[in-house]
Amino acid sequence: MARVVDENLVPPALLGQHGSSRLFARLAAAFARFYFDTEQTLVASARRDIVEELATRVHQMDKEQDVLGLRVMPTEVNWKVARKTIEIDVSRYVTEAYVRAREVDEAESLVTEDPEVMGGMPCFAGTRVPIDMVLSSLDEGMSLAEVCDSYPFLTEAYVASARVYAAVHPRRGRPRRLGEVSSRKRLREKITLRPASA
């Protein structure tokens, strides 16, 4: 998204700054994807013009903030822009961004970071089970059934959410080696689940 900001690829209203952090409305991801995917088809000025027109439509809505944040699927917006003899439909990009936003929201409800729990490592909500331990064990070749023997609460949905969370919130610094995070022996030990506040 750095290129999106540096090259002014989406309207400034979809961007923000909080200290040294850049902020993006979730809708900006849909527009950026459209912009890059149509690079071989449309010239840059046409792509910017289309994004600007769609952003203007959103700004005229009563539920502007919900649409910018993709908290609702913005079905009442016409995502098609006509130019001379062609019509550009951006709805696919908005739908994909909306689905991805729901996946991120689900992941953030199932994974938490608390400095008082496991040193702030991302853990499954309500437990002291770090997502890194489970994901690395699966990546090492353990089956979900084997992992679930130690952590019966786990489901495919939890694992999928953990993967989304890890992708959206990459850990800084040197990545841990699999042996540092977990081992089959340690994972196979039964662990009693305790509330995260314990």
Report the length, in residues, of the chain: 198
CATH dotted code for 113-188? 1.10.10.10
Do 186 and 149 form a contact (C-beta atoms < 8 A)? no
User: What is the tens place of the pLDDT at every residue in 177-189?
Assistant: 444 544 444 444 4
Task: Report the alpha-carbon distance of residue 170 to residue 159 in Å, rounded.
Answer: 16
**Between these two residues, 170 and 100, which has the higher pLDDT value?**
100
pLDDT at 191: 43
Q: What is the mean pLDDT of the chain?
A: 81
pLDDT for 49-69, tens place per residue?
A: 999 999 999 988 888 888 888
Q: Where are the domains of the chain?
A: 2-106, 113-188
Tokens coding 6: 């540096």
Name the least confident of 1-15, 113-127, 133-147. 1-15
User: Which pLDDT does position 82 carry in this prediction?
Assistant: 92
CB 30 within 8 Å of CB 94:
yes
Q: Is 143 helix (H, G, I), strand (E, B) or coil?
A: coil
Mean pLDDT of 101-116: 92
